Amino acid sequence: MSRGDRHGLGIVMSAGAAPLRLLRAPEVFAPAAIGSQEILIGGGRILAIGPDLAATATLPGLVEVVRLPAGKLVPGLIDQHVHFIGGGEGDGPHARMPELSFEAFASAGVTTAVGLLGSEIEAKTLPLLLRKAHELDRAGLTSFIYSGAMALPAPCLTQSVRSDIVLVDKVIGAKSAIAERAFPNLDFPGFAALAGELAQAKAMSGKAAVLHLHVGRLQSGLTTLFDLVESMDFPPAQAVPTHVNRSPDGSPVFEQGIRFANAGGIIDFTCCLGPRDGIPAGLDAVEAVQRALDAGVPEDRITLSSDAGVAVPAAGGQGGFVAVPPSILFRDLKRLATEGGLGWAQALPFVTSNVARVLGLAGRKGGIAPGMDADLVFIGEDDRIAWVMSSGRLVFSRADDANQ
């Protein structure tokens, strides 16, 4: 924002008046609860954090001091499954959703996101996805994409998925699908070859080279993934099956996911997959987290993602579809922390530090500590997002949004 920025609770943060900014926050979750802290920000990064950084405030003209009111300062959210260029094609032409805007992410507290293709790869392509990721990045969202798609053989930007990851900065892994009727991918050697490319790409690039797996409703569930881990010694932590919160009444995926996570893997629950959002075949994400924890799954092996941009049935039973907004991720974070009874410190890692580790971004994203990007979300006493900072720049404030 070029003008003076307000976080919506009466505190003015001037735009670029000083090279450093000192935030005095009464309650900080990093994501662990660390109480009242002062945070020094400069050059888009967190430079220092501590209970008393008063000495820095004495530097004339160099430090802008901002005292925050009652509320919670938390890391920016990370969403690892987003349809940047719209999804919904599997439900026909009337369900094709539009591209997502930067403002939709900023107002939702999402400061890092990974884009992917849906079921349509004829008109919505990897070059278009990459172009959209650059657009969002220029606006202020740290953005990455997955190569590949639902179908095998996997589409790519260059000559292979491996070279996409090695040569293209924004490519962080690859998407594929299992247990999906429209894309059954029954050719196990082809699936194993993709996994082999990812193993090579990880070694060659130093990236996470994630195998991000859409898991459909077929009764085979995660069987192909278990076979991959057993036959190829593929690291369980390098694969992230998503949509694991399918209702146990009609699918084995949830129970298989519990077994996979307890064996060292990661499981991702989809916020819009459940009755709350018109999909009765899904298990509510909050309930899924609670069930997984009750089953002994370690907290650091669970993540949440939004599936934003995909189509879900419109409310009211009148027919039609609407796009899932990025804000659904914060919605379910808040539900986990409040009505789910976990509290903010326990709920936050599912959308911050856990995701950062999975994507190979730990130490840069998903926390509040010296050296990390200054991606911050301030939540008011009403548990609504008041303002959002991405790489040290204010990109959303509730007051400005209300005045537009």
Query: How does pLDDT run along the chain (404 residues), one tens digit per residue?
Result: 333 334 444 445 555 567 899 999 999 999 999 999 999 999 999 999 999 998 877 777 789 999 999 999 999 999 999 999 999 777 788 888 999 999 999 999 999 999 999 988 888 999 999 999 999 999 999 999 999 999 999 999 999 999 999 999 999 999 999 999 999 988 999 999 999 999 999 999 999 999 999 999 999 999 999 999 999 999 999 999 999 999 999 999 999 999 999 999 999 999 999 999 999 999 999 999 999 999 999 999 999 999 999 999 888 777 789 999 999 999 999 999 999 999 999 999 999 999 999 999 999 999 999 999 999 999 999 999 999 999 999 999 998 655 44
63-67 and 20-29 beta bridge pairing: parallel
pTM of the predicted model over 0.85: yes
Q: Which residue has the tokens 């260029």?
A: 85
Q: In what order do the strands lie in the sheet with 171-178?
A: 77-82, 110-115, 142-148, 171-178, 210-215, 239-242
Who's near 24: CB < 8 A, 6+ residues apart?
38, 65, 66, 67, 68
Structure tokens at 381: 């006493």
Task: Enumerate domains of the chain plus CATH numbers.
Answer: 5-75+367-403 (2.30.40.10), 77-358 (3.20.20.140)
What are the backbone dihedrals phi and psi of residue 26, each rounded to the nearest 5 degrees, phi first? -75, -25
Q: Where are the alpha helices (DSSP H) in 49-153?
A: 102-106, 126-139
Query: What is the phi-psi region of residue 138: left when phi exceeds 0, alpha when psi lies from -120 to 50, beta otherwise?
Result: alpha
Q: Name the CA radius of gyration of the chain, rounded.
A: 21
Count of all residues that appear for the chain in the document: 404
Confirm if 350 and 336 have CB atoms less than 8 A apart. Answer: yes
Secondary structure tally for the chain: helices H, strands E: 11, 20
How many angstroms separate the CA atoms of 104 and 21, rounded?
26
**pLDDT for res 93:** 81
Angle at 146 between CA 142 and CA 150, to 5 degrees: 145
**pLDDT for res 14:** 56
**pLDDT for res 5:** 39
How many angstroms separate the CA atoms of 184 and 224, rounded?
11
Confirm if 23 and 56 have CB atoms less than 8 A apart. Answer: no
How many angstroms separate the CA atoms of 36 and 73, rounded?
10
